[in-house]
Amino acid sequence: MKDIGSKLRGATDRGVEQAAAAAAGRLAARAADEHLLDVAYAFVDTPFGRFLIAGTSRGLVRLAFHPEPVEAVLNELSDRVSPRVLEAPSELDDVRRELDEYFEGERHEFDLPLDWRLMRRGFSERVLRATAKIPYGGVSTYRDVAARAGNPRAMRAAGNALGSNPLPIVVPCHRVVRTGGNVGNYGGGSDMKRALLQLEGALL
């Protein structure tokens, strides 16, 4: 009887979750139809934990992973993009699919429109746009990306720009390493950075 009760509770929990997801989907669709949704966000499970992804009509605007607090990310989106932020997973199906393919080793380039408005302007944006061109399986140094952004001596500023990257993995700041081969710092930690480079074949 105890096993049957547990199974029934599990089935009920799944039913509640499915109903909640369906209701959220209907709400998001209605908000979009009525032009009340400017920023859609969702969560995606990855080998490195749960990521928050957010998109606008322009494209993917934010990707955040632990330890960034969800509330802080949503507040940033509300303050800097639009207060009309809503959880709407169906709006981000393409992003979730491409991330899944990437982590499975099946995708080497992201084919996603990007919304760059959370990028800092000037040198920082130039650093990140240079970083976006580093190919899968390749690496560059902080000095290299600083040079491509117009100032080869601004390695520290390049590091700060990479540290504030609002679209990690898709704009692959993990492919920028220190001169000499040390992987350097990363928002998700050096172990995650090393694992991403190993996934791409850049490190053995």
Alpha-carbon span 96 to 48, nearest angstrom: 14
For the chain, the distance separating the N- and C-terminal CA atoms, rounded to the nearest angstrom, is: 53
Rounded Cα distance between 20 and 26, Å, is 10
Alpha-carbon gap, residue 120 to 199, rounded angstroms = 29
Could you please report the per-residue DSSP string of 55-86?
E-SSSEEEEE-TTS-HHHHHHHHHHHT-S-EE
Q: Which of 173, 176, 177, 197 does the annotation list as catalytic?
A: 173
Q: Are 50 and 61 in contact (CB under 8 A)?
A: no
Please confirm, yes or no, whether 173 is among the known catalytic residues.
yes
Active site residues: 173
